[in-house]
Amino acid sequence: MDLEMDLFGAAAENSRNEYEPLAQRMRPRNFDEFIGQEEAVGQGKYLRKMIEKDQLPSLILFGPPGTGKTTLAQMIANITNSHFKKLNAVSSGIGDIRKIVDEAADQRKFYQKRTIVFIDEIHRFNKSQQDVLLPYVEDGRLILIGATTENPFFEVNHALLSRVRIVRLTALSEGDLVRMLKAALFDTERGLGGRKISADDEVLAAIAQLSSGDGRMALNLLEQAAAMVEDGSVISLELIKNILGERVQSYDKKGDNHYDTVSAFIKSMRGSDPDAAVHYLARMIAGGENVNFIARRVAICAAEDVGNADPMALVVAMAAVQAVQFVGMPEGRIPLAEAVTYVASAPKSNAAYLAVDAALADVRRHDCGRVPSHLRDAHYKGAAKLGHGEGYKYAHDFPGHFVRQQYLPKEMKGVSYYHPTDNGREKHLRDYLKWCWPERFK
């Protein structure tokens, strides 16, 4: 009977392995098999030492898909002597957490074991669910390992963040992915080694490039290619192109990658690099970003970063905003590209932006006084009796259409907010203002 059960169990195990995806079968079991993330868990790094000593602190693993977050958690489960429990934030609730806490108390009381709870997609836990974890993480009853593709500083409670270490995992390099693919090709126990399939370095590099730093995607693509060839065959570059004609875009409109791409887009326009700006524009368009969102960012950059150095930049940007709404996509990409390249190529000045922020700071912090009497509205009946408008000098009545008089409240006399630069059109504005107010615009 025991022999029969052993045979049945072995058959079930073989069947399970046969139908498991290659990416699942090839999950590293220890640090010798783990590829990449040298900064986080390389030899001699803090986190690796803590794992190997079974003295793991609570932490959140943060990084793009396919970078090893779940794999690292499973390795910790295998390496440490702790009691290990896994939850998925999508399907678990407060009751599941409390049940694990009760188990943790028993593990510590009867077996002197710590309990590690791994919560996948922890950003999907709401505030109440995250708050339930706080006292147990704080007093050490639970060692928390959270995994998320979202920036935890946006998605995780600050109280919980203060009790954990943030470990950032980065997209795998092409070299890491090629090593991973070769391991899968030659592994006879869990990989494709038994089928004697081969692929040259050019093909493996192409798969790595198509995978955008995602190890799971790379192994899935290799598995798809292997399924289309006979044992002993060679996987060709043509086959890879047939499987995946276009590069998969790694762009999540709600994720951290979204914020990084938008940030790079704006900074490239501000930095006067039209090529980089168009590149990030293309990433957002290909990733399905809302074109109105993109257009607003261009208009803001035109006002904030180009400003009076080239006032036409805002005109072009607003024209693009209207054109995108009028023509829609895909044609809307053209006026967007026109505006992006214009704004990126224009001379830059943030003097107007700095001026209004400085003025707002004064208005919000100080009593800035009343509007001078000679500038007050004098059109309504009885205004003259109050002295409104008395002594006002009409600029167009004077040579050069300018006359010196006090415009700021007396409490603010001598304050200067706007400091024109020497860039583009703003230089001419500066020269004119120097003629008007030489003591202020030296």
What are the percentages of helix, strand and coil residues in the chain, rounded to 5? 55, 5, 40
Query: Cis omega before residue 347 (within 30°)?
Result: no
> Any idea which fold 256-345 has?
Zinc Finger, Delta Prime; domain 3 (1.20.272)
Max Cα–Cα distance, the chain, nearest Å = 113
**pLDDT for res 74:** 87
**pLDDT for res 253:** 54
Helices (H), 27-151: 38-41, 46-52, 69-79, 94-111, 127-138
**For residues 167-196, average pLDDT:** 93
**For residues 399-404, average pLDDT:** 88
One CATH from 1.20.58.100, 1.10.8.60, 1.20.59.20, 3.40.50.1700 for 174-243: 1.10.8.60
Confirm if 284 and 251 have CB atoms less than 8 A apart. yes
Confirm if 320 and 336 have CB atoms less than 8 A apart. yes
* Residue 342 pLDDT level (bands cut at 50, 70, 90): very high
Of 108-117, 238-247, 318-327, the poorest mean pLDDT is in: 238-247
Q: Domain boundaries in the chain?
A: 37-168, 174-243, 256-345, 369-436
Going by their DSSP bridges, the two strands 165-168 and 83-88 should be labelled as: unpaired
Please state, in angstroms and rounded to a whole number, the distance separating the CA atoms of residues 131 and 184: 41
Please state, in angstroms and rounded to a whole number, the distance separating the CA atoms of residues 231 and 121: 38
**Which CATH architecture best describes the domain 37-168?**
3-Layer(aba) Sandwich (3.40)
Going by their DSSP bridges, the two strands 115-120 and 83-88 should be labelled as: parallel
Backbone angles phi, psi at 413, to 5 degrees: -55, 135
Please say if the pLDDT value at position 331 is more than 60.
yes
Please say if the pLDDT value at position 247 is more than 80.
no
Please state, in angstroms and rounded to a whole number, the distance separating the CA atoms of residues 121 and 36: 21
Please state, in angstroms and rounded to a whole number, the distance separating the CA atoms of residues 138 and 59: 12
Chain-wide mean pLDDT for the chain? 85
What pLDDT, in 10s, does the model give residues 1-36? 454 445 434 444 444 456 789 999 999 988 989 999
Please say if the pLDDT value at position 373 is more than 80.
no
Please state, in angstroms and rounded to a whole number, the distance separating the CA atoms of residues 34 and 345: 45
119 sits in which H/E element: strand 115-120
Altogether, the residues listed in the chain come to a count of: 442
Both tokens of residue 374?
């000679």
Both tokens of residue 22?
């290659």
pTM: 0.59
For the beta carbon of residue 189, count every other beta carbon within 10 angstroms: 8
One CATH from 3.40.50.10420, 1.10.3710.10, 3.60.21.10, 1.20.1250.20 for 369-436: 1.10.3710.10
Please say if the pLDDT value at position 256 is more than 70.
no
Of 67-76, 174-183, 275-284, 384-393, the poorest mean pLDDT is in: 384-393
Please say if the pLDDT value at position 406 is more than 90.
no
Place of tokens 């006879």: 188
Which residue in 378, 363, 375 sits closest to 411, CA to CA? Answer: 363
